[in-house]
Amino acid sequence: MSELIRLGIDTGGSSLKAAVVAVDSGALLTEPRSFPTPSPSSPPAIAAVLRQVVAAFPQAPGPIGFAFPAVVKAGVACTAANVDPAWIGTDGAALMQEVTGRAAVFINDADAAGLAEMRFGAGRDEGGTVMMLTFGTGIGSAIFHDGCLLPNTEFGHMEIRGMEAEHRASARVRTAELLGWEDWAGRVNEVLARLHALLWPDLFIIGGGVSENWARFGPLLESRARIVPAQLGNTAGLVGAALATTSKRGQ
C-alpha cells in the first residue's frame, strides 16, 4: 500500500511553516520551509502566501492541512487574537480551496500541535488528562482526555494578575521584556498552577518554538502534574495539520 502523504501548514505570528508529512508515521518527507507572515495578516494577504506555499510542494497533491491561531467552528475562524481581525467570520478551508484549487482542513494551531504530540510524540499512549501548551507569539492550548481532543480551548486568555496569561508568559513577552529564563519560568509556573487548580491534568506537554531551549528553562518548571517537552518541537503544528486531513477534526 502506498504511503499517505499530505501537506501541512502551520501559521504563526512571524512565519507560515510547511512540509510534506507521512501521516501514518508523522515523519517529514521534506525539510520544513518558512514563509514570512505578512503584515497586516489579512485573509487576502495570507492567501497570497498560501499560493506560494502550495506551489513550493508539488509532491503532495491531496488535501491540505491548514493550522491557524483562531477558534475554528465549522471551518470558520471565530477569533483573531494575534492576527488581523478581518479573519473573524472567514471560512479558512474555503479560502484555501479558492486560492489553490485544493480541498483543505482548517484547524486551530494548538489543537493541531496537540494531535501530533498525542499520536506521534510526548503524549503517545498517555491516558488521563493531557494538556499541550504552545509558547510563541501567544499561548496556545489543547486538552485531551484518554486521547480525545476537546477542541478550541483558549487558556492563554485566562486572567493572571489582571492580565491575559499570554500577555505575561508567552515567548514573545519573554523576548520583548528581556526576561531571564528563571524570571520567565516563574511566570509560566503561575500559568501551570492555575491550570492545575482548574483542570487537574496528569501531564503538561510544553511546545512552541521556545521548546528548543528546554534545557535552559525546563528544569525550572514546577507542577503537581508531570511536565515534558514536545518531542516534535516546532514542527508539531504542521504535522498535526497534515494529520487532521485524515479525519473530520477542524472542519
Q: How far apart are CA 152 and CA 109, in angstroms?
A: 9
Helix (H, G, I), strand (E, B), or coil: what is residue 109? helix
Same domain assignment for residues 97 and 128: no
3-state DSSP helix/strand/coil % of the chain, to nearest 5: 35, 25, 35
The answer as to whether 117 is a domain residue is no
Q: Per-residue pLDDT for 46 more than 90?
A: yes
In this predicted structure, what is the pLDDT of residue 182? 98
Lowest mean pLDDT among 50-59, 96-105, 160-169, 241-250: 241-250
Does residue 143 share a domain with residue 55? no
Within a domain: residue 10?
Answer: yes
Q: Are residues 240 and 221 in the same domain?
A: no
96 part of a folded domain: yes
With 50 as the cut, is the pLDDT of residue 225 above it? yes
> What span, in angstroms and rounded, lies between the C-alpha atoms of 103 and 178?
42
Q: For residue 247, what pLDDT band results from cuts at 50, 70 and 90?
A: confident
Number of C-beta neighbours around residue 55 at 10 A: 9
Same-domain status, 155 and 82: no
- Is residue 188 domain-shared with residue 104, that is, in the same domain? no
In a domain, 144, yes or no: yes
Co-location of 149 and 185 in the same domain: yes
Report the C-alpha gap between 113 and 139 in whole angstroms. Answer: 12
Same domain, 149 and 103: no
Question: Domain with 23 in it: what CATH number?
Answer: 3.30.420.40
pLDDT digit string (tens) for 2-36?
A: 679 999 999 988 899 999 999 999 999 999 999 99
User: Has residue 41 been placed in a domain?
Assistant: yes
Q: What is the mean pLDDT of residues 124-144?
A: 96
Contacts of 149 (CB under 8 A, 6+ apart): 111, 114, 115, 118, 142, 143, 249
Q: Which helix (H) or strand (E) holds 235?
A: none
Domain that holds residue 160: 124-231
250 falls within a domain = no
Residues 6+ apart with CB under 8 A from 45: 38, 84
Q: Which three cell numbers stand for residue 44?
A: 487576502
Q: Which three cell numbers stand for residue 70?
A: 483562531
The answer to whether residue 250 scores a pLDDT higher than 50 is no
Tens digits of per-residue pLDDT, 154-194? Answer: 999 999 999 999 999 999 999 999 999 999 999 999 999 99
Helix (H) or strand (E) holding 193: helix 181-199
Segment 198-210 mean pLDDT: 96
pLDDT at 151 over 80: yes
The confidence score (pLDDT) of residue 94 equals 95
219 lies in some domain: yes
Do residues 93 and 139 share a domain? no
Q: Do the domain assignments include residue 249?
A: no
Amino acid 249: pLDDT: 45
Q: Are residues 152 and 106 in the same domain?
A: no
Q: Is the pLDDT of residue 70 over 80?
A: yes
Q: How confident is the model at residue 108 (pLDDT cuts 50, 70, 90)?
A: very high
Specify whether 131 is located in the same domain as 107.
no
Q: Looking at the 3D structure of the chain, how many domains does it have?
A: 2
Mark whether 89 and 137 lie in a shared domain. Answer: no
Same domain, 181 and 207: yes
